[in-house]
Structure 1
Amino acid sequence: MASKFPTNEEGNAKLRTRKGHDMTWSCDKHGEPITFYCKQHNIPICHKCATKDHQKPCQLGDIEDVIFERRKNLKEREPLIEETKLLHQKVESKINAVSSSSSKHLQTINKKLQKTFKDKLKDVKEREVNMIKVINEEADEEIRKINEKREKRIKDCNINSEKKLITIKNLETKLFSDTKTISDVVNKKINELTNKNRHALNIMKNIESTITRINQHDETLVNEAPQVLASIDETLRLNVHQDVSVCLDRIQSETERVKSVEEEVDGEYFGRIDGYIGRWELVKSIHIPSVVKPWVRGLISDDEICVADEKNNDMYVTNINTQHTQKVIDGVSNMYFTSCAPINSNVIVCGKWRCDWKGDRLDGCITLYDRQWKMIRDISIPRNGGGNSVYVDVDRDGMILAAQICQSNIYVINPDDGKIVNTITMQGKKVRGGIQGLSSGDIVVKTGRNEFTVISRSGEQKAVIHSDEWRESECRVDKLTDTIYITYRVAGKTYAVDQVSRDGIIQAKTIVEYVRSDRVIYLSPCLVTPSGNLVGFDGDKLLLYKKTFIL
């Protein structure tokens, strides 16, 4: 074992100092200078140790060569250390840039929301003022009678305006809360990355300090250099700066996807924060009464789901807020509902299957109902052979879209008079299930067991959405974002939902998954509410999912 040379006072001869090295380093056992390094045992030794204890197979190296080599190795790492320090410093700058960019982007959204809601509130107030003015002008014709009528109408107008103001303010609060939640997630992740990067930077600085310290004495250098070198290599292997940089890129990309989407339908304003993929979480389960053998047919408001009874063709409506299910139409043996959609806050359109059609018209295959489920009128379309089912939806202009199964025509119908205003013919494909209107004006049509086709108003094929994994499948469209959700059977009784763009690109696989009960045999679609929630159905209960922002 090596130690300091004994002093002259101890009676030993003074050792000759080698140029550039610490020659007070001696062997503990023999008191002689350290001259060799045993590579077999990884220790420094003197000449006597080499002669007595470290013969072959030990490999001996000159201690000066070992010192020179280890200094050289440490020296060679210095550029890498400096380069890594620079990379971490660049990442620190990038952290600040991404944090600033994300904050500015979310501030832009908040400013847009502020302007939007300010305009909405102003619009409601202006409509109120204009209505009151009209009411006052009409009231002047007959003072006593009209005054009574005027006061009542003003009161109703104020109540209605107040309801709208409350709705808009509540929605404003919710959307600002959503942007704050997203901002908190972003800030938390950025803080984590900042700490991770600074920790790595501190490690590099500590390594530098250690190198400076061990370079001061040969003994310390020889004994500690291997551990320092291993620490340097391990730190470089972890590549923390690259990991942090990749995370920052993802944060920026995901944050820039966030946007506010809005739509006004028949005077009712819908808006939300969306645009990102996120994670879907089950927040509520709504049981359907056991007397019903349910089959989900469609959504008629943000919280009302139409459910048909497969046993006797009754129609029910389930409110996902109150969790109450109510029968609205008694079924008949020769007809059941295939689909339904709201035209506005007062009118619902339903498509049907019937077995008693005759001639060249499909009479009673499309029916308009009011919100109390009283029939307004039946609408007929041409019969061109094919099957007995008609599917319906409502487009961005409030027009009815209707198509007969196993046919290539899609009819655009004015709900006010029931007349066909346009006929869209697909080329080389036929309707095999439901149809969905996009906000762009295009239409998504089920054209196969596991295939959906996006067509333009001229019938041109714009995209084909297909996957061999979709053994059975149904689709529904988010009317605010045009995102398509495909519900399909994975295997056995397991069902899943994929998220797809209107261009046919699968954006996310299996965003939700559930197991169907034995109560039903038919696949029900996963519905999309105007507020952006998903409503699946496992045969016993409706499953309400909400999306959260994740990084």
Structure 2
Amino acid sequence: MASKFPTNEEGNAKLRTRKGHDMTWSCDKHGEPITFYCKQHKIPICHKCATKDHQKPCQLGDIEDVIFERRKNLKEREPLMEETKLLHQKVESKINAVSSSSIKHLQTINKKLQKTFRDKLKDVKEREVNMIKVINEEADEEIRKINEKREKRIKDCNIDSEKKLINIKNLETKLFSDTKTISDVVNKKINELTNKNRHALNIMKNIESTITRINQHDETLVNEAPQVLASIDETLRLNVHQDVSVSLDRIQSETERVKSVEEEVDGEYFGRIDGYIGRWELVKSVHIPPVVEPWVRGLISDDEICVADEKNNDMYVTNINTQHTQKVIDGVSNMYFTSCAPINSNVIVCGKWRCDWKCDMLDGCITLYDRQWKVIRDISIPRNGGGNSVYVDVDRDGMILAAQTCQSNIYLTNPDNGKIVNTITMHGKKVWGEIRALSSGDLVVQTTRKEFTVIPRSGGEKAVIHCSKWDSSSQCHVDKLTDALYITHWDGPRKNYAVDQVSRDGIIHVRRIVEYARSDRSPWLSSCLATPSGNLVGCDGDKLLLYKKAFVL
């Protein structure tokens, strides 16, 4: 091992300085100047070490060449070090910019929400005032009777308005809570990236400090330079600045997807924070105890699901909030329910399969019920041969859409009087199963076992939605706030049900957003329903499964 040259005072001969260096570096074993560097043993040695202990196959290099090479290697890394340090400094600026951009974007959403809810609250109050004014004007015509009626209506109006105000305020609280949750996720991720980037900068600073220190002594330089070079190469290989920058781009992209969506669905106001892909999480499982073979037929409110018993055609309603299931209609052998939808908070429309047609009209295939499931009226549509099933939905204007299977006509019907106001005829296609109304006014119609077609009111074709991965029992449901389509299908390789999210243009956005096993209790595939509040409700044949979407980065 090398050490300082012994001085004259120590009783040894003074060794001369080498080639311009104030060189007092000697061999511990022989006390002679360090002359060579053994490449096999990676140690500096004197002439005697070279002669006695480091003959071939050892390869020897001049120590000054080694020193020069080590200095050169360190010097060559300096531009890369400086360039990398500048990249990290730029990332630091980008962190600040993305953080500021995300905060501003979410603040904009909050301001929009504040304005929306101020307007909604004002609108509810204005409607209340206007209604009371109308009621008062009507009451002037017949003092006693109308006054009694007026007081009752005012009370009902106040109760209804108060209910709507409470619902709107609760919804406002929920949406602000959702934006705060998203903000917390964004801030947490940005803090993690900030710490990661600063850690990388600290490593770079430590390496620079080490280089400065080892450059002061040749012995230290020779012994420690390989480790420093390895540390530099490892730091450059990790490419932390690139990873942080990519993560920041993702944060900005995902944050900018976030938006507030609002719409009146079936006469009720709904709003939520949406727009992002997120991750669907199972939050509740609701058992359906009375139903022998459950088959989901539709959604009649944000938390009420209609479930038919395929074995005896009974109809049940399960509340996913209270987890209570109630039988509402006793089944009969010649009829079962195919579909149902709410027209408003008071009326439900149901489509049916029947086998007892007696004329050219499909009588009793469409029925309006009140919320106590008492029949309001039956609605008929023309029968033109075809199948015995009629599917229904309700469009954005509260009109009933009804279609018979194996036919090309879709009838737009006024629920107030049962009259057909328009007939939509598909070009070259026939109804196979469900029909769904989009908020745009277009329709999504199942036209084969694995195909769904988007059509305008003119009956043309806007998009054909299909996938080779879907099986012949695929079902479609529409989120009426965002027009996102959810296709439920049997995933053979995985042996479970899966749901794909698809746009109304036919683009598959995400495969298998939720997956669940099939129960032995029922062989029937049910649609995964999208509730107005933004949740998904699937059915595995035994339970209703409630999924909520979480914002993730």
Mark yes or no: TM-score above 0.5: yes
Comparing 291-300 with 254-263, which one deviates more in the overlay?
Answer: 291-300
Take 2:72 and 2:499, find their aligned partners in 1: how far apart are those partners? 60
Q: Deviations over 1:131-166 (max 9, x none)?
A: 222333344455555544444333332222211111
Q: State the Cα distance separating 1:266 from its structure 2 match.
A: 5.5
The change in CA–CA distance for 1:323 and 1:29 in structure 2 (over 3 A counts) is same
Contact 1:367/1:378, CA 8 A, preserved across alignment: yes
Native 8 Å contact 2:266 2:342 kept in 1: no
CA shift for structure 1 position 503: 1.4
Match of 1:141 in 2: 141
C-alpha distance in structure 2 between counterparts of 1:13 and 1:530, whole Å: 96
Conserved 8 A contact 2:266-2:396: no
TM-score (structure 1 length as normaliser) = 0.96
Displacement, 1:425?
Answer: 2.5
SS at match of 2:462: strand
CA contact (8 A) 1:436 1:476 kept: yes
Partner SS, residue 416 of structure 1: coil
Single out whichever of 533-542 and 371-380 deviates more from structure 2: 371-380
Displacement of 1:189 after TM fit? 0.5
Between stretches 16-25 and 443-452, larger displacement belongs to 16-25
Q: Is the 8 A contact 1:22 1:217 kept in 2?
A: no
Quickly say closer, same or farther: Cα 1:241–1:318, change in 2 above 3 A: same
Q: Deviations over 1:379-435 (max 9, x none)?
A: 222222222111111111212112221222222222222222222222333222211
Q: Partners of 1:70 and 1:339 in 2: how far apart?
A: 80
Q: CA deviation at 1:284?
A: 1.1
Q: Which residue of 1 aligns with 2:294?
A: 294
1:354-384 deviation per Cα after TM superposition (whole angstroms, max 9, x unaligned): 1112343222221111212122222222222
Greater mean deviation of Cα atoms: 43-52 or 417-426: 417-426
CA contact (8 A) 2:27 2:45 kept: yes
2:478 equivalent in structure 1: 477
User: C-alpha separation between the residues in 2 aligned to 1:135 and 1:390?
Assistant: 41
Q: Aligned to 1:307, what secondary structure does the other structure show?
A: strand
User: What are the Cα deviations for residues 445-476 of structure 1, in whole angstroms up to 9, with x where unaligned?
Assistant: 12222222212222222222222221x31110
Per-residue CA distance 1:487-512 (angstroms, 9 max, x = gap): 1xxxxx51111111111111112111
Question: Is the CA contact (8 Å cut-off) linking 1:22 and 1:218 kept in structure 2?
Answer: no
Shift of 1:22: 4.4
Question: What is the CA–CA distance in structure 2 between the aligned matches of 1:290 and 1:72, rounded to whole Å?
Answer: 83
Larger CA deviation: 404-413 vs 34-43: 404-413
2:371 alignment partner in structure 1: 371
| Whole-angstrom CA distance in 2 between matches of 1:422 and 1:142 | 41
Quote how far apart the aligned CAs of 1:198 are.
0.4
Distance in 2 (CA, whole Å) between partners of 1:164 and 1:515 is 39
State the match for 1:529 in structure 2: 531
Q: 2:518 — aligned with what?
A: 516
| Distance in 1, Cα, partners of 2:250 & 2:241 | 14
- Retained in 1: the 8 A contact 2:396–2:439? yes
Task: Give secondary structure in 2 for the equivalent of 1:168.
Answer: helix
Query: C-alpha deviations, 1:45-76, integer Å up to 9, x for none?
Result: 11111111111111111111111111111011
Q: Secondary structure at the match of 1:461?
A: coil
Give me the whole-angstrom Cα distance separating, in 2, the residues matched to 1:60 and 1:543: 75
Secondary structure at the counterpart of residue 175 of structure 2: helix
CA distance in 1, matches of 2:10, 2:202: 46
- Please say if residues 329 and 373 of structure 1, whose CA atoms lie closer than 8 Å, have aligned partners that are also in contact: yes
Matches of 1:137 and 1:392 in 2, distance apart? 40
Unaligned runs of 5+ in 2: 489-494
Contact 1:500/1:508 (CA < 8 Å) preserved in 2? yes
Q: Residues 403 and 431 of structure 1 are in contact (CA less than 8 Å); yes or no, is this contact kept in structure 2?
A: yes
1:478–1:484 contact (8 Å) kept in structure 2: yes
Q: Distance in 2 between matches of 1:108 and 1:90?
A: 27
Q: Is the CA contact 1:36–1:46 (under 8 Å) kept in the aligned structure 2?
A: yes
Unaligned runs of 5+ in 1: 488-492
Deviation at 1:215, TM superposition (A): 0.6
CA contact (8 A) 1:340 1:348 kept: yes
Q: Please report the RMSD computed on the Cα atoms of aligned residues, expressed in angstroms.
A: 1.5
Matches within 5 A, 1:402-441: 402-441=402-441
**1:362/1:151 CA distance change after superposition, 3 Å:** closer
- Structure 1 residues 448 and 137: CA distance shift in structure 2, 3 A: closer
Q: Is contact 1:427-1:460 (8 Å) kept?
A: yes
Cα distance change of structure 1 residues 432 and 141 upon mapping to structure 2, 3 Å threshold: closer
Summarize the Cα distance change of 1:150–1:355 in structure 2 as closer, same or farther, 3 Å threshold.
closer
Higher deviation after alignment, 121-130 or 425-434: 425-434
Secondary structure in 2 matching 1:87? helix
Structure 1 equivalent of residue 491 of structure 2: none
- Answer yes or no: is the 8 Å Cα contact 1:424–1:458 preserved in 2: yes
Q: Give the CA deviation at 1:283.
A: 1.1
Bigger drift between 142-151 and 52-61 goes to 142-151
* Contact 1:121/1:165 (8 A) holds in 2: yes
Tell me which moved more, 413-422 or 493-502: 413-422
CA distance in 1, matches of 2:390, 2:153: 42
Structure 1 residue 282, shift from structure 2 partner: 1.1
Residues in 2 aligned to 1:403 and 1:144: alpha-carbon distance in whole angstroms: 49
Alpha-carbon spacing, 1:141–1:100, altered in 2? closer, same or farther (3 Å) = same
Instruction: Report how far residue 4 of structure 1 moved.
Output: 0.7
How far apart are residue 440 of structure 1 and its match? 1.1
Quote the offset at 1:32 in angstroms.
0.7
Q: Given that residues 347 and 371 in structure 1 are in contact (C-alpha distance below 8 angstroms), is that contact kept between their aligned partners in structure 2?
A: yes
Tell me how far 1:325 sits from its aligned partner. 1.1
How many residues align? The count is: 545
Match of 1:48, SS state, is helix
SS in 2 for 1:147: helix
Report which stretch shifted further, 16-25 or 362-371: 16-25
